Amino acid sequence: MEIFLKILDIVRISLVSISIYFGYSIGFENGYDPIGQLHFMIPLIVFAIAGISGMEGLLFAKKSAELKGFEVGSNYQRQSAIALLSYAVIAVVIYFTNWGIKAELTIFFSFIFFFIFSGLNHAIDAFKRKNYKWQNINRPIITLLLIIAMIYPVVMALKSI
């Protein structure tokens, strides 16, 4: 089970990396199209992080919590997993119903707000409890990298609407 959850972590990171690479390729294909770029990136990023994490938290709660160095069996863990799944489901609905960039940015901002504070929570846990497990300390780093990757297309999209 532990190996499977580590593979899920690699899949999450890989999907986000792929979405950033291809998103930038799409965005700069014919001039610069930040809306096309974000239309590709947002649902994939939110699904990769929130969807996989939500399913992991619901289906493999005990082992997932252990790998992060968190308490096992918490109702808050289940509640957090459900919240993550809701971001993923709404991102997919927005994509397939083609509600447009404003809806896509709305779900992204909601998700990234959660993810920023989740990263802070993991960082605080690392310092306060000396929880240096990979799945705990990678969250603040990955959050920062994601923000850096998304700043330019988000700013450019906001300028164009």
Q: Which of 79, 24, 12, 80 minimizes the C-alpha distance to 48?
A: 12
As a whole number of angstroms, the longest Cα–Cα distance in the chain is 50
Range of the domain at 128: 2-160
Q: How far is CA 12 from the centre of its chain?
A: 8
Within 8 A by CB and 6+ apart from 146, the residues are: 16, 45, 112, 115
What is the structure's pLDDT at 134?
76
Tokens of 48: 């990769």
Query: How many structural domains are present in the chain?
Result: 1
Q: At what angle do helices 34-46 and 101-128 cross, to 10 degrees?
A: 50
Q: Are 100 and 107 in contact (CB under 8 A)?
A: no
Structure-block tokens of residue 96: 């397939």
Which regions of the chain are under pLDDT 50?
none
Task: Write out the H or E segment, with its range, that includes residue 121.
Answer: helix 101-128
Report d(CA 133, CA 152) in Å as an integer: 31
pLDDT in tens, 71-84: 777 788 889 999 99
* Share in percent of the chain as helix, strand, coil (round to 5): 85, 0, 15
Cα dihedral value 140, 129, 67, 122, nearest 10: -20
* pLDDT score at 71: 77
